[in-house]
Amino acid sequence: MAGKFIALPKGVSEESFAAAVAEFRRVLGQDAVLVTAEQLAPYIKTMMPVPDADHTPSAALLATTVEQIQQIVGICNQYKVPIWTISTGRNFGYGSAAPAERGQVVLDLKRMNRILEVDPDLCFALVEPGVTYKQLYDYIQDHRYPLWLSCPAPSAIAGPTGNTLDRGVGYTPYGEHFLFACGMEVVLATGEVLRTGMGSLPNSNTWQVFKWGYGPYLDGIFTQSNYGIVTKFGFWLMPAPPAFKPFVIQYENEDDIVEIVETIRPLRISGVIPNAVVIAHALYEAPTKAKRSDYMTGPGAIADEAVRQIMKDHKLGAWNVYAALYGTQEQIDVNWKIVTTAFSRSGKAKILTEQEAGDDPAFQYRAALMRGDMTLKEFSLYNWRGGGGSMWFAPVSQARGSETLKQMAMTKRILGKYGLDYAGEFIVGMRDMHHIVDVLYDRTDPAVVKAAYQCFDELLTEFSAEGYGTYRVNTAFMDKVAHTYGPVQRQVHKTLKKALDPNGILAPGKSGIR
């Protein structure tokens, strides 16, 4: 666009926005307010099948202190400028670092990256939003604390605050990250600073050890929401176990998912297998060691025969169940016997440990994730179709075999209709499963981009019609997903929004809330 800025917030004139930018510069300094196309380029790149212009920010603000953020929200209220807050900005497949709507100002908290406290006795951490898992991992290593992290797959460059606030998951016994969150500091739209739970109490030293505080529990309303800006985040860390035994169990056929889930559920609920187990389809693991072009050329989804050949050539199951045992060697020995007995009943399972699979690249990165180590090997997925297109389709399923088979079949059918492959996994919670599918497509091909958009839209429509909700979605589809949860929840979200942020300056559109 012609003018001083590459985009403008909705309903804000260039003159008014220029005045707001001048105020931002007064607070942050000239260099911490980015407005040129070159400066904003890294905020524009997404993996979604929509034009970059739809999510182009008008500016980015690099704040480093709570006081700066308080002043920024004051300016935003004055000029009615909306801000989209990011922490490490690594929400790949969900919108990356770009705002939900064109013209929003990105409040980038990556430089607010102090590790405020790590308590090796009580096993908790308190960090600022820009702290990455890698930064915290190195800190723990440097101090030789016997503590483990739980990370999502983009571990090294992502961070605990953003991942947990978007209710992301990891692969250790602490894999359901929000369950292990404990205490937040939040800058509200008024500029006031709220500390949740015990953090509100003068002289309290229990902010990071007791989650609930007194009265209504508030932390939840600051996740997947736009009700405040989290500036400090507390969470629990897992004590490093004396022993760790990762393993993979492979099954040959797609419909074996029924037996897998029925076998795993009681082991997971009872705690025999304590971690967030992953049941990964062959095509989720294949990119770590195979090239799609060696098995399939031309348009369309990959054929089942080609998948079978990949499995044979690269020692993969149709399903690959990655899990681990943690504890003393004696505990592991007892639980290993329970696990192997359960999985050996039908004769279909192939059970592999580090002894048999330790050199396998898929096993290596899965084992790393299950002990909270840094790896980006899962990004191999992006080489499968090439072209940089990726959306996570993330419906929730009961941990029931028949349900998982139904979801897998539905997803594969709809993806196939649009020429896309099923690269999916189920991350096993206690009673639920996050069914995570990487909708991979070539973002450089306009026809494929259009098909990917239609495919994702159809996935959401068909799944919600069956009563399946998605737990998280990219910024292009937030309104659609919010709609699937019905008008009452949406109105409650809106009521909270009006009460806490009457001018609507905080991330309008997040989770469909305005």
Partner 1 sequence: MKTIGHNAVVACIVTAGVVIGSYAATAGAAPNEGSGSGFVWKDGAEVYSKVCAYCHEAKVGPTIRGRRLDPLYIRYMVRNGNRAMPAFRAAEIDEEALTKVAEYVSKSEIDRSGGATQ
Pair 439, 455: CB distance under 8 Å? yes
Pair 60, 34: CB distance under 8 Å? yes
Which of 193, 237, 280, 428 is the binder for partner 1 (CB under 8 A)? 193
The residue annotated as part of the active site, out of 43, 79, 94, 251, is: 94
Q: How far is the CB of 65 from partner 1 (least distance, A)?
A: 4
In terms of CB distance, is 250 or 380 closer to partner 1? 380
To the query of whether residue 471 is one of the catalytic residues in this protein, the response is yes
Which of 21, 27, 76, 126 is the binder for partner 1 (CB under 8 A)? 126
Name the residue among 477, 450, 476, 449 with its Cα closest to residue 463. Answer: 477
Name the residue among 131, 138, 96 with its Cα closest to residue 112. Answer: 131
Residue 130 in the binding site for partner 1 (CB under 8 A): yes
Query: Applying CB under 8 A, which part among 1-9, 114-122, 168-176, 329-337 lies near partner 1?
Result: 114-122
Q: How far is the CB of 139 from partner 1 (least distance, A)?
A: 6
In terms of CB distance, is 291 or 483 closer to partner 1? 291
Name the residue among 176, 214, 223 with its Cα closest to residue 196. Answer: 214
Question: What region, left, alpha or beta, does residue 467 occupy, with left being phi > 0 and alpha being psi -120 to 50 degrees?
Answer: left
Which of 5, 43, 236, 468 is the binder for partner 1 (CB under 8 A)? 43
The residue annotated as part of the active site, out of 43, 174, 471, 514, is: 471
Query: Applying CB under 8 A, which part among 106-114, 250-258, 294-302, 343-351 lies near partner 1?
Result: 106-114
DSSP strands (E only) in 354-475:
388-393, 396-398, 424-428, 432-442
Query: Applying CB under 8 A, which part among 59-67, 431-439, 449-457, 506-514 lies near partner 1?
Result: 59-67
In terms of CB distance, is 207 or 284 closer to partner 1? 207
Q: Which two tokens stand for residue 452?
A: 């990917």
Q: Which two tokens stand for residue 465?
A: 């019609």
Q: How far is the CB of 130 from partner 1 (least distance, A)?
A: 8
Which of 19, 25, 54, 139 is the binder for partner 1 (CB under 8 A)? 139
| CA atoms of 7 and 9, how far apart (whole Å) | 7
Compose the 366-395 pattern: x for residues touching partner 1 by CB under 8 A, - for all others.
Answer: --------xxxx-xx-xx--xxx-x-----
Which of 84, 94, 207, 471 is the binder for partner 1 (CB under 8 A)? 207
* Rg (the chain; Cα; Å): 23
Name the residue among 353, 320, 327, 376 with its Cα closest to residue 151. Answer: 376
**Interaction with partner 1 in 145-164: which residues (CB under 8 A)?**
156-157
Pair 125, 97: CB distance under 8 Å? no
| CA atoms of 167 and 94, how far apart (whole Å) | 12
Q: What are the start-end ranges of the H helices in 271-393?
A: 282-285, 304-314, 329-344, 354-357, 361-370, 382-385
DSSP strands (E only) in 394-431:
396-398, 424-428
Per DSSP, what are the bridge partners of residue 428? 433
Residue 45 in the binding site for partner 1 (CB under 8 A): yes
Query: Applying CB under 8 A, which part among 15-23, 35-43, 49-57, 482-490 lies near partner 1?
Result: 35-43
Q: How far is the CB of 34 from partner 1 (least distance, A)?
A: 7
To the query of whether residue 400 is one of the catalytic residues in this protein, the response is no
Side chain identity at residue 171, one-letter code: Y
Number of residues near partner 1 (by CB under 8 A):
73
In terms of CB distance, is 278 or 381 closer to partner 1? 381
Pair 6, 35: CB distance under 8 Å? yes
Q: How far is the CB of 242 from partner 1 (least distance, A)?
A: 28
In terms of CB distance, is 376 or 447 closer to partner 1? 376
Residue 121 in the binding site for partner 1 (CB under 8 A): no
| CA atoms of 342 and 12, how far apart (whole Å) | 62
Residue 180 in the binding site for partner 1 (CB under 8 A): no
Compose the 448-477 pattern: x for residues touching partner 1 by CB under 8 A, - for all others.
Answer: ------------------------------
Name the residue among 246, 262, 180, 245 with its Cα closest to residue 426. Answer: 262
In terms of CB distance, is 408 or 506 closer to partner 1? 506
To the query of whether residue 443 is one of the catalytic residues in this protein, the response is no
In terms of CB distance, is 67 or 305 closer to partner 1? 67
Q: How far is the CB of 62 from partner 1 (least distance, A)?
A: 5
In terms of CB distance, is 205 or 355 closer to partner 1? 205
Which of 203, 297, 341, 355 is the binder for partner 1 (CB under 8 A)? 203
User: Can you give 448-470 as a three-state secondary structure string?
Assistant: HHHHHHHHHHHHHHHHHHCCCCE
| CA atoms of 359 and 394, how far apart (whole Å) | 30
Largest CA distance in the chain: 72
Pair 90, 157: CB distance under 8 Å? yes
Which of 161, 196, 250, 474 is the binder for partner 1 (CB under 8 A)? 196
In terms of CB distance, is 160 or 401 closer to partner 1? 160
Q: Which two tokens stand for residue 20?
A: 């707001």
Active site (catalytic) residues:
94, 471-472
